[in-house]
Amino acid sequence: MSQRQWIAVDEYFTGALIDTDTDGDTDTDNALHAALAASDAAGLPAIAVSPAQGKLLNLLASLINARHILEIGTLAGYSAIWLARALPPDGRLITLESELRHAEVARTNIAKAGLADLVEVRLGPALDTLPQLEQERSSGRAQPFDLVFIDADKEHNADYFAAGVRLTRPGGLIIVDNVVRGGAVLDAGSDNSTVQGTRRLIDTISADPSVSATAIQTVGVKGYDGFVMALVKAP
């Protein structure tokens, strides 16, 4: 099968199952399309999750009745919108973004989607903002997260995952995107920092007895890649 066919299949499923599934709120789905258009207009990289992947995140958050979600890597807010749509009215999503321009575009997109009351965009490197979240959690000022979605720079994925475990309740989910790298993850001797970062992530997960995890390979409009999903176990 070719990339062209993967894209065609993804577009078929998106048209049949996602674009037609508005949950009675066409404006919300228009906001998703508008978020992608705003990202393109601002010159942000075209690396957001696909519509099918966004809907998967939404469904997973709904299945576990998530009330508190953490996202690492905001970009233009497209995945944040999908995740926040699964939250109850008193839910909360905190999304971490290191780039000011990305954060500005995301805040505008999230507000246009009517989700500003549910979503907080925190600006700064995640390696700096994650310890702040941990301090808030240890002091009782913040609730543990039900779901963590990691889709940021791959070099630090292991660090993000370790922090995510500490911040997530037992029974919560951690999802890490882009772990297959077109198959390059197999190359232990790669000089690519994203491949080495991904391999360090897998080593970290493998050595952590507090989680149960799997990895799923995917194809589609985003090419050949995949994600890790980890369940945080009760102590």
Q: What is the domain partition of the chain in residue ranges?
A: 3-232
For the cut 70, the answer to whether the pLDDT of residue 75 exceeds it is yes
pLDDT tens for 118-152 read: 999 999 999 999 999 999 999 988 899 999 999 99
Residue 158 · residue 199 · CB < 8 Å: no
Average pLDDT for residues 43-66, to the nearest whole number?
96
For the cut 70, the answer to whether the pLDDT of residue 117 exceeds it is yes
Q: Which homologous superfamily does the CATH classification assign to the domain defined by 3-232?
A: Vaccinia Virus protein VP39 (3.40.50.150)
Element (H, E) at 102: helix 100-112
Average pLDDT for residues 35-63, to the nearest whole number?
95
Render 160-204 in DSSP notation, one character per residue: HHHHHHHHEEEEEEEEEE--SGGGGGG-TT---HHHHHHHHHHHH
Residue 222 · residue 212 · CB < 8 Å: no
Q: Which residue has the tokens 């995740």?
A: 83
For the cut 70, the answer to whether the pLDDT of residue 21 exceeds it is no
pTM: 0.94
